[in-house]
Structure 1
Amino acid sequence: MPAKFLRSILITGGTSGLGYHCALNVARKYPDYQIIIASRSDPNSSANALNNALNQKNVRFLPLDLSSLAQWETNQFPPIHSLVFNAALQFPGDVQYSIDGFEKTFAISHIGHALLFSLLRPHLADMARVVIVSSGTHDPAQKSGMPDAYYSSAGELAHPTGQSLKNNGRQRYSTTKLVNVLYGYALHRRFEAINKKSGKHWTVAAFDPGFMPGTGLARDYSALQRFLWLKVLPKILPLLRLLLTPNTHTVEHSGKMLARLVIESDEEIGSGAYYEGPKRIKSSDASYDQDKQECDGRSRPRNNFISKRSSIDEEN
Structure 2
Amino acid sequence: MRRTIVMTGATRGIGRVAAEYILRRSPDVHLVVVARGSSGARLAVELGAGGHAVSYVPADLGSLQSVCSAAAEIRNRLEAGELPPLRGFVGNAGVQYTNALTESPDGFESTFAVNVLAHHLFVRLLQDRFIAPSRIVITASDTHFGDFKHNLGMVPGPVWKSPDVLARTGAFPKPQSTAAGRTAYSTSKLAAIYLVHEYARRLPAGVDAIAYNPGFVPGTGLARNADAVSRFAMRRVLPLLTLTPFATSRDFAGRCLADVALGTVRAQTGSYVDRDRSARSSEESYDARREGELWEAAERFTRDIRCQGGSVLG
> Normalised by the shorter chain, which TM-score bucket?
0.7 to 0.9
CA contact (8 A) 1:100 1:309 kept: no
Task: State the shift of 1:41 in Å.
Answer: 3.5
Amino acid at match of 1:188: A
CA contact (8 A) 1:6 1:34 kept: yes
CA contact (8 A) 2:172 2:180 kept: no
The within-5 A match list for 1:189-208 is 189-191=201-203, 194-195=204-205, 201-208=206-213
Which digits, 9 at most, give the CA deviation of each residue in 1:241-276, with x for residues without a partner?
3xxxx241121110000111111358x222211111
Which digits, 9 at most, give the CA deviation of each residue in 1:139-170, with x for residues without a partner?
12445111111111111111145755636100
Distance of aligned partners of 1:253 and 1:161 in 2 relative to their CA distance in 1, 3 Å threshold: closer
Question: Which residue in 1 is equivalent to 2:141?
Answer: 135
The within-5 A match list for 1:1-316 is 6-43=2-39, 45-52=42-49, 55-64=50-59, 65-68=66-69, 69-75=71-77, 76-141=82-147, 142-144=149-151, 145=153, 146-160=155-169, 164=173, 166=175, 168-191=180-203, 194-195=204-205, 201-238=206-243, 241=244, 246-264=245-263, 268-295=266-293, 301-303=296-298, 305-307=300-302, 308=305
CA contact (8 A) 2:75 2:126 kept: no
Identity percentage over the alignment? 30
Task: State the shift of 1:306 in Å.
Answer: 4.1
Tell me the TM-score normalised to structure 1 length.
Answer: 0.83
Distance of aligned partners of 1:162 and 1:93 in 2 relative to their CA distance in 1, 3 Å threshold: closer
Task: State the shift of 1:70 in Å.
Answer: 4.1
Amino acid at match of 1:67: C
Tell me the TM-score normalised to structure 2 length.
Answer: 0.84
Quote the RMSD (CA, aligned, Å): 2.3
Distance 1:111 1:7 in 2: 26
Distance of aligned partners of 1:163 and 1:181 in 2 relative to their CA distance in 1, 3 Å threshold: closer
Task: State the shift of 1:105 in Å.
Answer: 0.5
Highest relative contact order (Cα 8 Å, sep 6+), 1 or 2?
Answer: 1
Secondary structure (helix, strand or coil) at the match of 2:68 reads: coil
Distance 1:162 1:169 in 2: 10
Task: State the shift of 1:212 in Å.
Answer: 1.0
Query: How many pairs are equivalent?
Result: 287
Q: Can you give the 5+ residue segments of structure 1 that lack an aligned partner in the other structure?
A: 196-200, 311-316
Amino acid at match of 2:142: G
CA contact (8 A) 2:163 2:297 kept: yes
Distance of aligned partners of 1:114 and 1:130 in 2 relative to their CA distance in 1, 3 Å threshold: same
Which digits, 9 at most, give the CA deviation of each residue in 1:68-116, with x for residues without a partner?
2442244332221111111101102351011111000010011000111
Q: Can you give the 5+ residue segments of structure 2 that lack an aligned partner in the other structure?
A: 60-65, 308-314
Amino acid at match of 2:43: S
